[in-house]
Structure 1
Amino acid sequence: MLKIYDTTLRDGTQGEGVSFSVTDKLRITEKLDEFGVDYIEGGWPGSNPRDMAYFQQVRDLKLEHAKIAAFGSTRRAGVPVEQDGQIQLLLDAGTPVVTIFGKTWLLHVTEVIRTTAEENLAMIADSVRWLVSQGREVVYDAEHFFDGWFDNPDYAMSTLAAAAEAGASYLVLCDTNGGRLVGDIERATAAVRARFPDTPVGIHAHNDSGVGVAVSLAAVEQGAVMIQGTLNGYGERVGNANLTTIVPNLLLKMGHDAFCAPNLARLRELSLFCDELANLRPDHKAPFVGRSAFTHKGGTHADATKKVAQSYQHVEPTLVGNVSRVLVSDQAGRSSLLLKAKELGIELDRTSDAARQVIEEVKELEHRGFEFEAADGSLRLLLSRKLGQHQDHFEFEGYRVIVERRAADNSLVSEATVKLRIGGESVHTVAECTGPIGALDKALRLAIERMYPEIRDMQLRDYKVRILAGGDGANARTRVLIESGDGREIWGTVGVSDNIVDASWQAIRDSVEFKLLRKS
């Protein structure tokens, strides 16, 4: 059975824009344990107060399966292992597992840590032996292993021998620079497996060449049994090997087993949870877990997928917690529209005039600059209105927006006035905000919240503007995409106009109508 070793909380946090609080790290630890990860690398004791606090508090968690690992380096050159402060911090972390890295590449031995080849071997052996004698399971990470092996294979092997003979439980081969391709990884891993048949081997890859997942899978094919990586590929430079891609490939494509296998359907949930805590937007194009991973746009694809799912889907989406989606665009045919309508809860007759008319209108709107791929809310309203299944919750009479820069205090204020008719009654509201779109959104909410109080839990989450014809300068046609949510659901709406405020009003109005539609 393969061992999945997650280093999101240590190596992953070295990625640009990735930062977790102690509470975040504890919550991710619990989620990884629930998913069935075997090892969780929590951080580097002594590197920062946050990691020290994590190791103190993680002891109170009631984990079902995962082992927590503290990460650090071998002892320093010329310092007895029992007197090395970093080694002592690793022990003080109180984790059952300690992962230490040592130098494999002679370039690093002589030019980076400035010691001899013999002393480097002693540093590795002393550190592993001492930690094992203190009751720790030791995972040895051979830093820059592949670069070192291609430079001097005999010395690279001697560093692994030093760790293995001292009692390391795993020898992990690290492509620290992320520069090696599949063939290199295969040859080196096979050589290590032949040299150390009784010590389990692992792989730790980075994605600098874009093949972090591929080389990890290649190492497994050559006998590696521990796979190190991070959720969503977080990590230094362009990131680490992505476990959310590696794990389903191992289990669904390569026939391997792992403790997390029964929980694979929770993979997308785990991926989104981690992105949320990292305050990062999910990668919609991520394999297996991305929103677009099983999304079909072309009419031929959508039609074939409806008839035989595997014709355009390499695995069943639900196996990884995902779903199939159909996009409607100017490339869509009748099959795409029918599938999308069904996805949105509308049954549409393939042979009906309504289906033909909606397809024609969608294509015409997209020709004018509308886009419905990320605007399911607007598309749902369009379908309902064309089929006579929706009556707007309010009648629009007019709006006005004024932007004022006040020289006296250099303040910027936007004022929006909205006129609506709700239930036969005319409603006129005014609201202020820093920006014109915020003021317009606020005025609309004020106008309708007395009649529809459920609107109060709705929030505008994202706002995107796209200039559609740059040659027209300030008069260019503009598309506005808005993402809204209420804590339970997220939806998108779209507006297009020569005026950015008017395009925004269209999208805001649709977002509110969609919210009320879902409540009705």
Structure 2
Amino acid sequence: MDDLGIDIIEAGWPGSNPKDSEFFKVVKEVKLSHSKIAAFGSTRRAYTKVIDDLMMKSILDSEVPVAVIFGKAWPLHVKEVLHCSEEENKNMIADSISYLKDHGLEVIFDAEHFFDGWKESSSYALDVLRVAYESGARTVVLCDTNGGTLPTEIREIVRQVRKEFKGPLGIHAHNDTGVAVANSLVAVEEGIRHVQGTMIGLGERCGNADLTILIPTLSIKLGYDVLKGKAKEKLKRLTEIANHIGDLLNVNISPSHPYIGRHAFAHKAGVHVDAVLKNPRTYEHIDPSLIGNERLLSISELSGRSALLYHAEKLGIKISNDELIKALREIK
């Protein structure tokens, strides 16, 4: 991901389990050319002192330059999960951010369940954003944690938030309704410039916004300057890096995965193959080489002359018209 040019790699939750704690010890020795490693964590616990909070201590002990902490923006969670007052929840956010900031860390604040919170109490959700920003958060992230908010809602809510809140905003979308990428794109169109996501859409439940779709869409389709202006160069490795991550995690990437899937630029029907060989734009929305993928022309019962001639030429085989007709009959 550093090679790809991702700005911040949220690497785990120190103190939550031995594996993550060990990771932060090891990653200190890894030399990165671009990315910053971030530690994830929650705000301090309710009705405790931030200096005594073990999670805060674990983040500091990880010795990272960036902390990403989440706090509640939905009164339902404040009452029924944290069992504290709305005012105490805001104090927890303020104390945690200012404490980490005072210890030299950049702090990104994830306003958890922001969109559900907005629907219940927009005034309280906005108060949470203001408290986080005024306490020193460099970016305040609007989280669709349940993944149930639709793009039309995202657009309208982000638009309203930007009228009321002037600090830097981010978007964090889950894919429970299959629109995490769409929600992120809508948020960007409404002015958000910090986008959180995961490679190949990994994440809780149905996953998070998929960076392997988001990044090329933002760059190639919408013309945004991503990956520090090196998108044209970096995106050529997107398919390779995505498959490498899949291999490391033992996760099979769907052949039909947009952009990076093996079948993303595959053509089977005879009329499609014939047209693509004449002009790829007829059935391909981008040149697959832009993202390190390749065109695949299949031979099947739907194939026509063009597909057979293409593969024969590729293999260096000279084939007569009679041989071509015979081969097509056998295939069909």
After TM superposition, the score normalised by the length of structure 2 is 0.97
- Which protein has the bigger strand share? 1
Distance 1:75 1:224 in 2: 27
Aligned pairs (5 A) from 1:279-358: 279-343=250-314, 345-349=315-319, 352-358=321-327
Q: Residue 180 of structure 1 aligns to which amino acid in structure 2? A: T
Kindly state the Cα deviation for residue 341 of structure 1 after the two structures are TM-superposed. Answer: 3.5
State yes or no: 1:243 paired with 2:211. Answer: yes
Aligned to 2:91: 122
Distance (whole Å) between structure 1 residues aligned to residue 310 and residue 298 of structure 2: 9
For these two proteins, the number of residue pairs brought into alignment is: 329
Task: Answer with 1 or 2: which has the greater Rg.
Answer: 1
Tell me what 1:463 maps to: none
SS at match of 2:28: helix
Q: Deviations over 1:66-106 (max 9, x none)?
A: 00000000011101111111111111111000000000000
**Counterpart-to-counterpart distance in 2, 1:241 and 1:179:** 13
| Residue number in structure 2 paired with 1:5 | none
Sort the Cα spacing of 1:124 and 1:342 in 2 relative to 1 into closer, same or farther, 3 A.
farther
Deviation of 1:358 after TM superposition, in Å, equals 1.1
What code does the residue aligned with 1:217 have? Answer: L
Distance 1:357 1:47, change over 3 A: same
Q: 2:140 aligns to what SS in structure 1?
A: strand
Distance in 1, Cα, partners of 2:147 & 2:125:
18
CA distance in 2, matches of 1:229, 1:37: 10
- 1:338 maps to amino acid: L
Task: Name the residue aligned to 2:30.
Answer: 61
Q: Output aligned runs, 1:302-451, within 5 Å.
A: 302-343=273-314, 345-349=315-319, 352-363=321-332
Corresponding position: 1:93 with 2:93: no
What is the rounded CA distance, in whole Å, between the counterparts of 1:172 and 1:347 in structure 2?
58
Residue 178 (structure 1) aligns with: 147
Structure 2 residue identity aligned to 1:265? K
SS in 2 for 1:204: strand
Amino acid of the structure 1 residue aligned with 2:282: S
Taking the aligned partners of 1:118 and 1:299, their CA distance within structure 2 comes to: 66
Distance 2:115 2:176 in 1: 14
Specify which of 200, 218, 230 is matched with residue 232 of structure 1: 200
Once the 2 structures are TM-superposed, how far is the Cα of residue 236 of structure 1 from its aligned partner?
1.4
8 Å CA contact 1:298, 1:336 repeated in 2: no
Three-state SS of the structure 1 residue aligned to 2:148 is coil
Among 150, 174, 185, the alignment partner of 1:206 is 174
Q: Which amino acid aligns with 1:146?
A: F
The aligned amino acid for 2:174 is H
Residue 123 (structure 2) pairs with residue 154 (structure 1): yes
Partner residue, 2:50? 81
Report deviation, 1:181.
0.6
Q: Does 1:274 align with 2:242?
A: no
Cα separation, 2, equivalents of 1:189 and 1:264: 29
Q: Distance in 2 between matches of 1:328 and 1:112?
A: 57
Asked if the contact 2:15–2:54 (Cα under 8 Å) also holds between the matched residues in 1, the reply is: no
| Structure 1 residue 130, shift from structure 2 partner | 0.9
Cα RMSD for the two superposed structures: 1.2
1:373-414 deviation line (CA, Å, top 9, x unaligned): xxxxxxxxxxxxxxxxxxxxxxxxxxxxxxxxxxxxxxxxxx
Pairing 1:104–2:81 present: no
Contact 1:327 1:340 in 2 (8 A): no
Identical pairs, percent? 47
Residue pair 1:348, 1:355 contacting (<8 A) in 2 also: no
Please tell me the residue identity of whatever aligns with 2:194.
M
Tell me the CA shift for residue 318 of structure 1.
0.3
1:60 is paired with a residue whose SS is coil
Alpha-carbon deviations, 1:121-150, whole Å to 9, x = none?
A: 111111111111110000000100110011
**Alpha-carbon separation, structure 2, partners of 1:347 and 1:221:** 51
> Which string of whole-angstrom CA distances, capped at 9 and with x for unpartnered residues, describes residues 170-204 of structure 1?
1111111111110111111122222222x221111
| SS, match of residue 79 in structure 1 | coil
Matched, 1:264 2:235: yes
Instruction: Give the superposition deviation at 1:338.
Output: 2.1
Matched position secondary structure for 1:64: coil
SS in 1 for 2:306: helix
**Match of 1:49?**
18
Partner SS state of residue 10, structure 2: strand
2:126–2:165: 8 Å Cα contact kept in structure 1? no
Match of 1:220 in 2: 188
Please tell me the residue identity of whatever aligns with 2:13: W
**Which amino acid letter does the alignment assign opposite residue 274 of structure 2?**
D
SS in 1 for 2:130: helix
Amino acid at match of 2:195: I
1:355 and 1:181 map into 2 onto residues whose CA distance is 52
Q: Structure 1, residues 258-286: CA drift from partner, whole Å, max 9, x if none?
A: 12513010000011000100112221111
* Runs of at least 4 residues off by over 4 Å: none
In structure 2, list runs of 5 or more residues that go unmatched.
none
SS class of match (1:168): coil
